[in-house]
C-alpha cells in the first residue's frame, strides 16, 4: 500500500552525511526541508572518514598546486573546471566549518596539516587525529538541527523516485517499522546517499552503502557516469574475526611502510613515490605482491612513527588495533585492499543538477568530474562540502514552483539471490583486476536472475535489488572501457588508450557510450 504524508516539504534531501547536511543548511531559508536517513542520523560514510579534508592553507601551498595534484591523481579524466571549483572553494569552506564550531587539530595556534598519498604538500586537516569525518558531520548536524525549517526522518529507506512527465516529483520510502511504502512529494530532491562499497565482499564502507541512490536514479531514467572507477583502499585490517577496518593513508603519509610476508619493503619496486603513490597503484601492487609471495596479506609497519605519535595522531586506529590484539607501535599489522570509494555515480553539472529536472545529487553518489579515474586522498569530504552547498543553492531556485504529481512506480520485484552471492560476484569479477571474460560472466549471471514480488518487503530486499542493479551497471561500463586507467585495470587491456580518455555514460534509455 502506498501512503502519503499529511504535511509536505518543499525540498527532500536523501542522506544525512556531509553532502546532505550542507545542502539542507543552504536550503533552509527557501522553505521546509526534509532530510531522510536510511538508518540513524549518524550512520553514514562521513562518520567513518579518518584521513582528513584537503585545503591549500600552508605557506608553501596554493590552490594551483592542489589542482595539479588532483588532476594528476585523476589520470586524465578529472574535469578541470570542477577541480578549480573544488580547490578554490576549499579555504572558505574550512573557515565556515570553524565558524560553526568544528575543532580541527592544531599545532600551537596553527592548524595542523598532514600529507597523504599523491599530495605534493602538507594540506590535509584532521580532527581528533583520525575522526575528521565524524567531527565535520557533528558540526553540520548541530547547525542543521538549529534551523527550524529542517526536519529529520530516520530509519526510512528511499526505494524509488516519483516522476512526472520526465521530472522528479518526490520519493518513495520504505518505513522500517511498518514496512509500508510512503510517497513524499516535493519541489526538488537531492540524492546524497553516499557510496556503494557494500556490493563488494570486502569493504571499508558502512552497511548502509549499497548504492541506493545510483540504482534509484537509474530506474528513474537519470544518466550515470564513470561507474567503472571504484577505488580500493590499500590498507584495511586483514585479521580473522575482525572487520576490514580502515588503516588511514595518513599513516603512510607520516612514515609507515608496507612490507611483504618476508618483512621486505616492496613499494619502491612498483612506483617512484613508493608508499605515497596513488591508491590504485598501491592496491594493485599489494595484490601483485601477495600473488608473487603466495601470502594472503601484506603488512603495514607503523613502528617508525613511535608509540607517542600513534596514540596522539591516530587514537581511534591505535585503540581498535589493540582491541584485536595488535600493537601498531610494536609489530607490523596485516592489511589487504578493500572497496572504499566510487568515483562515478549520478552525472551532475557543477551545481548538482542531474539529467532529470528537479533531481540533484551531491557527495559520493554524484559524478561531478572532480575525481576522474582515481580520487586524490582527502578530497572526498571537501567535495561533499563544496558541492553539497552548491546543490543547495541551485535547488533554492525552485522555491515557489508547483509541486508535481508523480506517477506511482511499478510494483517492486526482487532478484533470486543473496547479498553474499552478489558481493562475491562483484569481488571476483568487478574488483581490483578485471578482464573481459570475467565482466561478461558477471553480466550474464546478473541478467539471468529471476525476479519476484514480495509481500511487505523489508529494507534488505530493496538493498538486494539495488546491489544487483549497481553491480550490473559497473560490469557493463567496465566491459565497455577497453583500457586500464586509474582505478579501472583490465588485465586484457593493460595500457591506456587515448580513444577512451572520455567519460562513460549509461542510462536505462541507452547503453554505455563515451563522451
Question: Residue 1: its pLDDT value, please?
Answer: 41
d(CA 37, CA 14): 7
Q: Where are the domains of the chain?
A: 235-337
d(CA 504, CA 502): 7
| All three cell numbers of 430 | 568487478
Question: Residue 253: its pLDDT value, please?
Answer: 87
The dihedral formed by the CA atoms of 6, 12, 17 and 20, expressed in degrees to the nearest 10:
-150
| All three cell numbers of 34 | 526534509
Are 457 and 505 in contact, with CB atoms under 8 Å apart? Answer: no
Instruction: Tell me which residue has cell 533470486.
Output: 416
Q: Of 153, 238, 279, 375, which residue is the catalytic one?
A: 279
Q: Among positive and negative, which fits the CA dihedral 211, 217, 220, 225? A: negative
Alpha helix (H) residue ranges in 204-278: 212-220, 249-253
d(CA 429, CA 422): 11
CB neighbour list of residue 302: distance below 8 Å, 6 or more residues apart: 251, 256, 310, 328, 329, 332, 333
What pLDDT tens digit does each residue of the chain (515 aa) get? Answer: 445 454 689 999 999 999 999 999 999 999 999 999 998 776 555 555 556 899 999 999 999 999 999 999 999 999 999 999 999 999 999 999 999 999 999 998 899 998 887 899 999 999 987 678 889 999 999 999 999 999 999 989 999 999 999 999 999 999 878 888 899 999 999 999 999 999 999 999 989 999 999 999 999 999 999 999 999 999 999 998 888 888 988 899 899 999 999 999 999 999 999 998 888 899 999 999 999 999 999 999 999 999 999 999 898 899 999 999 999 999 999 999 999 999 999 999 999 999 999 999 999 999 999 999 999 989 999 999 999 999 999 999 999 999 999 887 889 999 999 999 999 999 999 999 999 999 999 999 999 999 999 988 999 999 999 999 999 999 999 999 999 999 999 999 999 999 999 999 999 999 999 99
d(CA 288, CA 453): 43
476 has catalytic annotation: no
| All three cell numbers of 101 | 564550531
Question: Residue 278: its pLDDT value, please?
Answer: 83
Give percent of the chain with pLDDT exceeding 70.
97
Question: Residue 117: its pLDDT value, please?
Answer: 77
CA angle, residues 202, 208, 211, in degrees to nearest 5: 80
d(CA 190, CA 476): 26
Report how far apart, in Å, the C-alpha atoms of 476 and of each of 61, 200, 213, 445, 483 are.
Answer: 40, 16, 18, 12, 14
Are 168 and 129 in contact, with CB atoms under 8 Å apart? Answer: no
Question: In this predicted model, what pLDDT tens digit does every residue of 277-297 receive, in sequence order?
Answer: 888 899 999 999 999 999 999
CA 346 to chain centre: 12
Which CATH topology does 235-337 take?
Answer: Flavocytochrome C3; Chain A, domain 1 (3.90.700)
Instruction: Tell me which residue has cell 577505488.
Output: 231
Question: Residue 47: its pLDDT value, please?
Answer: 53
Amino acid at each position: 500500500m502506498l501512503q502519503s504524508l499529511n504535511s509536505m516539504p518543499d525540498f527532500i534531501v536523501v542522506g544525512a552525511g556531509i553532502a546532505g547536511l550542507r545542502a539542507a543548511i543552504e536550503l533552509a531559508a527557501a522553505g521546509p526541508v526534509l532530510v531522510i536517513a536510511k538508518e540513524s542520523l549518524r550512520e553514514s560514510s562521513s562518520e567513518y572518514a579518518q584521513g582528513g579534508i584537503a585545503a591549500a592553507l600552508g605557506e608553501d601551498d596554493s590552490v594551483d598546486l592542489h589542482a595539479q595534484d588532483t588532476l594528476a591523481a585523476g589520470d586524465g579524466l578529472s574535469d578541470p573546471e570542477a577541480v578549480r571549483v573544488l580547490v578554490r572553494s576549499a579555504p572558505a569552506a574550512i573557515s565556515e566549518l570553524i565558524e560553526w564550531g568544528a575543532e580541527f587539530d592544531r599545532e600551537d595556534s596553527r592548524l595542523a596539516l598532514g600529507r597523504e598519498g599523491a599530495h605534493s604538500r602538507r594540506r590535509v586537516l584532521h580532527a581528533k587525529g583520525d575522526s575528521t569525518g565524524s567531527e565535520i558531520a557533528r558540526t553540520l548536524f548541530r547547525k542543521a538541527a538549529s534551523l527550524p525549517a529542517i526536519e529529520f526522518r530516520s530509519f526510512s529507506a528511499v526505494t524509488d523516485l516519483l516522476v512526472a512527465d520526465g521530472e522528479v516529483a518526490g520519493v518513495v520510502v520504505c518505513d522500517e517499522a511498518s514496512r509500508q511504502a510512503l510517497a513524499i512529494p516535493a519541489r526538488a530532491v537531492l540524492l546524497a546517499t553516499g557510496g556503494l562499497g557494500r556490493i563488494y565482499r570486502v569493504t571499508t564502507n558502512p552497511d548502509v552503502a549499497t548504492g541506493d541512490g545510483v540504482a534509484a536514479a537509474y530506474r528513474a531514467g537519470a544518466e550515470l557516469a564513470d561507474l567503472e572507477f571504484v577505488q580500493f583502499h590499500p590498507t584495511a585490517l586483514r585479521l580473522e574475526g575482525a572487520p576490514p577496518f580502515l588503516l588511514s593513508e595518513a599513516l603512510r603519509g607520516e612514515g609507515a611502510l608496507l612490507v611483504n610476508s618476508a618483512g621486505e619493503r616492496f613499494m619502491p619496486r612498483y612506483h617512484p613515490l613508493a608508499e605515497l603513490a596513488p591508491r590504485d597503484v598501491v592496491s594493485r601492487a599489494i595484490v601483485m605482491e601477495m600473488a608473487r609471495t603466495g601470502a594472503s596479506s601484506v603488512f603495514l609497519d607503523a613502528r617508525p612513527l613511535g608509540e607517542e605519535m600513534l596514540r596522539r595522531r591516530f587514537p581511534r586506529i591505535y585503540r581498535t588495533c589493540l582491541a584485536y590484539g595488535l600493537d601498531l607501535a610494536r609489530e607490523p599489522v596485516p592489511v589487504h585492499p578493500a572497496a572504499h570509494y566510487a568515483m562515478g555515480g549520478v552525472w551532475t553539472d557543477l551545481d548538482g543538477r542531474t539529467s532529470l529536472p528537479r533531481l540533484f545529487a551531491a557527495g559520493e553518489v554524484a559524478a561531478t568530474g572532480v575525481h576522474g579515474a582515481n580520487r586524490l586522498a582527502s578530497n572526498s569530504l571537501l567535495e561533499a562540502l563544496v558541492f553539497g552547498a552548491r546543490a543547495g543553492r541551485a535547488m533554492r531556485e525552485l522555491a515557489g514552483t508547483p509541486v508535481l504529481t508523480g506517477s506511482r512506480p511499478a510494483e517492486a520485484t526482487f532478484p533470486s539471490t543473496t547479498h553474499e552471492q552478489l558481493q562475491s560476484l562483484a569481488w571476483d569479477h568487478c574488483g581490483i583486476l578485471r578482464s573481459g571474460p570475467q565482466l561478461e560472466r558477471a553480466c550474464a549471471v546478473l541478467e539471468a536472475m529471476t525476479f519476484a514480488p514480495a509481500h511487505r518487503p523489508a529494507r534488505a530486499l530493496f538493498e538486494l535489488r539495488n546491489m544487483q542493479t549497481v553491480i550490473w551497471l559497473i560490469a557493463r561500463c567496465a566491459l565497455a572501457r577497453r583500457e586500464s586507467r586509474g582505478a579501472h585495470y583490465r588485465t586484457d587491456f593493460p595500457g591506456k588508450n587515448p580513444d577512451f580518455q572520455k567519460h562513460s555514460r549509461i542510462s536505462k534509455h541507452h547503453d554505455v557510450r563515451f563522451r
